[in-house]
Structure 1
Amino acid sequence: VAETSGACKVACLATVEELQSICREEGLVCEELGVTKNNLCDFEVEYLCNYKRIELYLVKWKGYPESMNSWEPRKNLKCTDLLSQFWEDMVRELRRLKKRTIPKKLDASLASHLVQRAKLRKTLKQWETHLNSLGNKKGRIFVENLVDMEGPPKNFTYINDYKVGDGISLTEVAVGCECTDCLNDPVEGCCAGASQHKFAYNELGQVRVRPGLPVYECNRRCRCGPECPNRVVQKGIQYSLCIFRTDNGRGWGVRTMERIRKNTFVMEYVGEIITTEEAERRGHVYDKEGTTYLFDLDYVDDEYTVDAAHYGNISHFVNHSCDPNLQVYNVFIENLDERLPRIAFFATRPIKAGEELTFDYKMQMDPVDAESTRMDSNFGLTEIPGSPKKRMRIECKCGVASCRKYLF
């Protein structure tokens, strides 16, 4: 304990629930932990641990240690959602074990599996709550793992905006437009026109310029308000999405919980902005691990790369497909340095609720003109001096008919 108030703060190694459990086990009241005389002996089901055919369930009580678990008849349990989840987990595991009947009493391995599954679900729910506490996104993020016992990724920090690496600076735009209606009455072509480019969006916020052309959105110095139709990417993710565990060895993936219209913005690719030299150094490490999250920012010059391995948003979990439903666009908002565009994903076609979101890790733009050929988007293809021109070949598991068999 610190000698003087506010001298230091030390993170507690126990969670609040663990401390509550200790209080209840010892019969101690602690108002700061929410353990009072009125609820000291309250019992709430945290999860179910076992089952007997005579409709008895072994219950782990919330806020109490496992030593106080007790067998309870079905009639005593009001936790219908937990009961349904318990049975879903049990049936799924029995199917995996190719067992057709439910045993009268669960063996130790099956009971242990159900407990670990319940604990994993609780851990993922806490991570889900944390992800949704970051930023003001319209859509929610859900997390689901029905495949294995993998929990939240280690050594990964969720961020909603770029993390700028050492020696790199982002220069904010100095001027903005004077429009009051950017779409219908743009002054001198608005922000896009000032850069000698087309207005990128229609009235529904759908991108209408060809992939390969840059997108210039209005910025904080513009006269137009936050509802301006030329502010799309900067509003962030608008759809509810789910980070889920794939069942074919591709790790985590992302699917949409809502229908997404064609040409609408879905998400940004966010991570650390690093120099190409630093990307080359990290590339050696990622090659050995058989994975990479490097995305070259080569709109004009190949000077910078985005690395989402340890810092990133939900795009960190988006998988590759040789027939993707997301397309990359380079977007400029507060920073007009053409070496540092923002990477935005737009839907290439209507996407149904429940469909997995994917992009092509080796996406190539249609070389209609000199400008579009500059914006080839190479994901994880930073070349290493002294190494072969092609990086280590990674087998593709996207499963589409047009699959190229290898990612790189």
Structure 2
Amino acid sequence: MIVRPPPNPNWNILAALKKMAENLNGCRVLCKSTLNHLQYLCRQERVECPQLGVTRKNLNDFEVEYLCDYKKKGEQEYYLVKWKEFPDSENTWEPRKNLRCVKILKQFHKDLDQELKRLKLRRNVKKLDHSLSHFLVQKAKQRKLLQQWEAHLNATREHKGRIFVSNEVDLDGPPKDFTYINNYKVGDGIILTEVAIGCECKDCLHDPLNGCCPGASLNKFAYNDKGQVKIKAGLPIYECNSRCNCGPECSNRVVQKGIQYDMCIFKTEDGRGWGVRTMEKIKKNSFVMEYVGEIITSEEAERRGHIYDKQGATYLFDLDYIEDVYTVDAAHYGNISHFVNHSCNPNLQVYNVFINNLDERLPRIAFFATRTIKAGEELTFDYKMQIDPVDAESTRMDSNFSLAGMTGSPKKRLRVECKCGVESCRKYLF
């Protein structure tokens, strides 16, 4: 770092510091400041540092964090700028010609136009009132928080599909008390037993020995050569496991490969809270996502269910493939399925999947597309999904999300109005 010497340097001190630096040659410590903050400190103190990218040419260049206000004098436009790493007290009015933040300018005017339209005010304003400028600042702060959350989600995910976040409806930021997880979180007193054996197939799809893993459980092979589910809803899916002879690209490993599509968590405009839409086309019968959360006992689910009912929402999903013993709770720990909304005419169907754990009381919950889903379309499943029995095996499955955590007969519950909006809407969720 190039440092300007003080007016009256104490050469004895400088000599001592130089000697100390020589003794510490090769010694390195972690820096507790970010690159942006170090650059800010250099510019604040008017110090050039080529190692940090701060040179004489860009010494006066400061980064715009967001724009706070707008006014127009004659033909000249001015913006109140919040500078990155500087407190609000250092905000300054700058003419447009001084700003090279094209993306931030476009976003500012998009937010401004949308709010003027909502308030039914004329678009060509020369000065913003306090309430309008305050809204724009809150919107900018919200967008920053959502961008940080989006980056955190993508740093946490272990699947191929990327996650985007969007809220063009209100000023709500990231949900509180929610942790993104990739695999089930096992609750107290629950033990997942690892499978003891695997298949010996060389080609599980075309040459399954003894029916591969599904055959060992007297079930049908679930997928075609494109990885699409071909068995009817209600029948279980047995995928190859960690002890199988086949590799990771085996045709009978679909759910375990994770989410393959880019998706967006977005705020709905009709009061349904957050939702999820796909950013890519999804073909019919393709795997979309798992319903991941905490695995808890039905007793614990009942306790939590009473609390969630008072809050007007629930994320409990009974694992009742063979008997109602365990429940998945995605309220505080979950993946992107936490944000998927209900529809009485959904585009996702539930299947019970078994991979490394063959305990029929603990299936994995997988969502497959019931039809081709277009890019930009919202993903939904039916909270009161009932499976039409296709044979004796399938009658054991009853995936009822809405009654999870409830015991007794009849199951009492506050009636919640359905807002899915489809023609076949049942009017109430529960």
- Describe the SS at the equivalent of 1:363: coil
The residue aligned with 1:62 is 84
The residue aligned with 1:146 is 168
The residue aligned with 1:4 is none
Identical counterparts, % of pairs:
71
Q: Which runs of 5+ in 2 are unaligned?
A: 1-31
The answer on whether the counterparts of 1:52 and 1:104 sit within 8 Å (CA) in structure 2 is yes
- Describe the SS at the equivalent of 1:343: strand
Pick from 215, 228, 237 the counterpart of residue 193 of structure 1. Answer: 215
Pick from 114, 117, 124 the counterpart of residue 92 of structure 1. Answer: 114
The residue aligned with 2:5 is none
| TM-score (normalised: structure 1) | 0.91
The residue aligned with 1:50 is 69
1:229/1:90 Cα in 2 relative to 1: closer, same or farther (>3 Å)?
same
The residue aligned with 1:123 is 145
Pick from 349, 353, 357 the counterpart of residue 327 of structure 1. Answer: 349
Superposition deviation, residue 369 in structure 1: 2.3
Superposition deviation, residue 66 in structure 1: 1.9
Q: Which runs of structure 2 are paired with 1:8-407 in the superposition (5 Å)? A: 23=41, 27=45, 42-53=61-72, 54-382=76-404, 384-385=406-407, 388-407=410-429
1:386/1:218 Cα in 2 relative to 1: closer, same or farther (>3 Å)?
closer
CA offset digits 1:74-105 (Å, max 9, x no partner): 22222111111111101111111111333111
The residue aligned with 2:8 is none
Rounded Cα–Cα distance in structure 1 between residues aligned with 2:300 and 2:405: 11
Superposition deviation, residue 178 in structure 1: 0.8
Rounded Cα–Cα distance in structure 2 between residues aligned with 1:286 and 1:72: 50
- Describe the SS at the equivalent of 1:370: coil
1:384/1:198 Cα in 2 relative to 1: closer, same or farther (>3 Å)?
closer
Rounded Cα–Cα distance in structure 1 between residues aligned with 2:53 and 2:428: 56
CA offset digits 1:267-319 (Å, max 9, x no partner): 00000000000000001101111110000000001000000001000000000
Rounded Cα–Cα distance in structure 1 between residues aligned with 2:89 and 2:409: 58
Superposition deviation, residue 382 in structure 1: 2.9
1:124/1:344 Cα in 2 relative to 1: closer, same or farther (>3 Å)?
same
Rounded Cα–Cα distance in structure 1 between residues aligned with 2:123 and 2:89: 30
The code of the aligned residue for 2:292 comes to V
The answer on whether the counterparts of 2:163 and 2:263 sit within 8 Å (CA) in structure 1 is yes
The residue aligned with 1:8 is none
- Describe the SS at the equivalent of 1:89: helix
- Describe the SS at the equivalent of 1:114: helix
Q: Which stretch of the first structure deviates more once superposed, 112-121 or 56-65?
A: 56-65
Count of residues in Structure 1 that have an aligned counterpart in Structure 2: 394
The answer on whether the counterparts of 1:20 and 1:35 sit within 8 Å (CA) in structure 2 is no
Rounded Cα–Cα distance in structure 2 between residues aligned with 1:192 and 1:171: 18
The code of the aligned residue for 1:312 comes to G
Rounded Cα–Cα distance in structure 2 between residues aligned with 1:93 and 1:181: 59
| TM-score (normalised: structure 2) | 0.87
Give RMSD over aligned pairs: 2.4
Q: Which stretch of the first structure deviates more once superposed, 376-385 or 102-111?
A: 376-385
1:40/1:161 Cα in 2 relative to 1: closer, same or farther (>3 Å)?
farther
The answer on whether the counterparts of 1:161 and 1:270 sit within 8 Å (CA) in structure 2 is yes
Rounded Cα–Cα distance in structure 2 between residues aligned with 1:151 and 1:387: 40
Superposition deviation, residue 204 in structure 1: 0.6
Q: Which runs of 5+ in 1 are unaligned?
A: 1-11
